[in-house]
């Protein structure tokens, strides 16, 4: 499974609607740490007891997101130890005054000595083992952009995409002679992505917003700037531009995905892509599908 942005319950419900058994999933591969891609990640991975594949930077960023309040700087940690030691001392003093013979508290000196063991950053080079830790996952596997790896009988090729996350990637999955391309959350389509998306049998491509709807829409100016930027999201026009120029026309299916609910309409995304495809006779056999935020597409069989 690529990303887990919905809750585990909803992911399972939608897989079942599409005739797929969640129990057959072997792993989750993560494109980047933004919330709409990882909301159901830990629950799903735990429930299925399957590994999660990240780049190391994405894993670290995800840990920072999931552990916002558990984070402490070293100085804060030391300060807390001092406070706790002082409280214990005060309790001991109070008991002594009452004439009770408590065991002496000797921890305060040891606490300071133990300090180097507690890191300011979460330890990410080995997975945490405690189930109560929200960042605990059954297994974490690291991959690097540009270095293909294999999960079962699927070859996974991660490639860098321009997006404002720690280390965002798209994927080409190759199995049984088919190549599936996934590219969402990218501000534009750079040459490395264009070359990855060659000879693809099924292409899932972002068609995030209509430029006019975004400009006139409800988002604050700073957010509009972010979406429009080179590390934001792909507009309907930019997706269409790719389809009418650099795309090689090899896909039997093109799925427009990651449509904004506020700044796009499915018809606008479809019309832009349709126009691009119909401009080249060789693309007329490409079937265009739209991914909705609220219901699954039917399973696609080759
Ligand atoms: Zn994103
Ligand atoms: Zn996203």
Residue (of 234, 255, 248, 239) closest to 280 by Cα position = 248
- In this prediction, residues 57-79 reach a mean pLDDT of 80
CA of 268 to the centre of ligand 2 (A): 19
* Each residue's pLDDT tens digit, 71-87: 566 677 677 777 777 77
Dist. CA 84–CA 111, nearest whole Å: 10
Question: How far, in Å, CA of 95 to CA of 104, rounded?
Answer: 11
158-197 pLDDT per residue, tens? 999 999 999 999 999 999 999 999 999 999 999 999 999 9
> Is residue 259 within 8 Å of residue 294, measured between CB atoms?
no
Cα→Cα distances 4→31, 78, 271, Å: 10, 37, 29
Strands 178-183 and 202-206 turn out to be parallel
- What gap in Å lies between CA 113 and CA 78, rounded to an integer? 11
Cα dihedral: 81, 84, 85, 88 (round 10): -160
* Distance from residue 87's CA to the centre of ligand 2 (Å): 47
> Cα(119) to centroid of ligand 2, in Å?
31
Ligand found nearest the CA of 5: 2
Half-sphere exposure at residue 19, Cβ-oriented, CA atoms within 13 angstroms: 5
Instruction: Please provide the average confidence, as pLDDT, over all residues in the chain.
Output: 88
Ligand 2: centre distance to CA 38 (Å): 10
Per residue in 223-267, pLDDT (tens digit) is 999 999 999 999 999 999 999 999 999 999 999 999 999 999 999
pTM, two decimals, is 0.80
Torsion on CA atoms 37, 42, 48, 51, rounded to nearest 10: 80
**How many whole angstroms from 33 Cα to the centroid of ligand 1?**
7
CA of 6 to the centre of ligand 2 (A): 12
Q: What is the mean pLDDT of residues 103-130?
A: 44
Amino acid 112: pLDDT: 39
d(C-alpha 49, C-alpha 42), whole Å: 10
Q: What pLDDT shows up at residue 259?
A: 98
> Who surrounds ion ligand 2 at CB < 5 A?
36, 185
So what's the pLDDT on residue 118? Answer: 45
Q: Tell me the CA–centroid distance for residue 39 and ligand 2, in Å.
A: 11
User: Does the pLDDT at position 107 exceed 60?
Assistant: no
Ligand 2 centroid–CA 37 distance in Å is 6
pLDDT band at 59; cut points 50, 70, 90: very high
In terms of Cβ atoms closer than 10 Å to its own Cβ (0-12, 13-18, 19+), residue 130 is exposed
**Digit-coded pLDDT (tens) for 42-51:** 999 999 999 9
Predicted local distance difference test score (pLDDT) of residue 285:
82
* Alpha carbon distances (Å) from 219 to 77, 183, 209, 228, 263: 39, 24, 12, 12, 9
**Distance of alpha carbon 124 from alpha carbon 135, whole angstroms:** 10
Q: Is the alpha carbon torsion for 53, 54, 56, 61 positive or negative?
A: negative
Instruction: Tell me the CA–centroid distance for residue 165 and ligand 2, in Å.
Output: 10
What confidence category does residue 102 fall into, taking pLDDT thresholds of 50, 70 and 90? very low
271 alpha carbon – ligand 1 mean position (Å):
24
């Amino acid at each position: 499974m690529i990303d887990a942005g919905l809750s585990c319950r909803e992911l399972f419900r939608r897989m079942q609607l599409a005739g797929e058994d969640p129990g057959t999933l072997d792993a989750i591969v993560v494109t980047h740490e933004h919330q709409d891609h990882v909301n159901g990640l830990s629950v799903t991975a735990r429930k299925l007891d399957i590994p999660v594949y990240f780049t190391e930077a994405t894993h670290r960023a995800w840990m920072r997101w999931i552990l916002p309040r558990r984070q402490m700087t070293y100085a804060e940690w030391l300060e807390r130890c001092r406070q706790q030691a002082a409280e214990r001392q005060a309790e001991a003093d109070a008991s002594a005054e009452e004439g009770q013979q408590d065991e002496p508290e000797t921890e305060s000196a040891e606490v300071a000595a133990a300090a180097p063991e507690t890191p300011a950053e979460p330890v990410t080079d080995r997975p945490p083992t405690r189930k109560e830790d929200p960042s605990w996952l059954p297994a974490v596997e690291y991959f690097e952009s540009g270095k293909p790896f294999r999960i079962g009988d699927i070859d996974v090729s991660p490639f860098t995409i321009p997006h404002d996350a720690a280390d965002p990637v798209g994927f080409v999955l190759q199995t049984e002679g088919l190549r599936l391309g996934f590219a969402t959350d990218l501000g534009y389509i750079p040459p490395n992505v264009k070359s990855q998306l060659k000879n693809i049998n099924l292409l899932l491509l972002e068609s995030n917003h209509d430029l006019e709807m975004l400009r006139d829409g409800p988002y604050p100016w700073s957010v509009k700037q972010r979406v429009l930027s080179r590390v934001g999201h792909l507009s309907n026009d930019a997706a269409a531009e790719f389809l009418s120029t650099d795309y090689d026309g090899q896909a039997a299916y093109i799925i427009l995905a990651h449509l904004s609910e506020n700044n796009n309409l499915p018809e606008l995304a479809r019309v832009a892509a349709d126009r691009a495809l119909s401009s080249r006779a060789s693309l007329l056999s490409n079937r265009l599908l739209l991914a909705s935020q609220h219901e699954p597409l039917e399973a696609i069989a080759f």
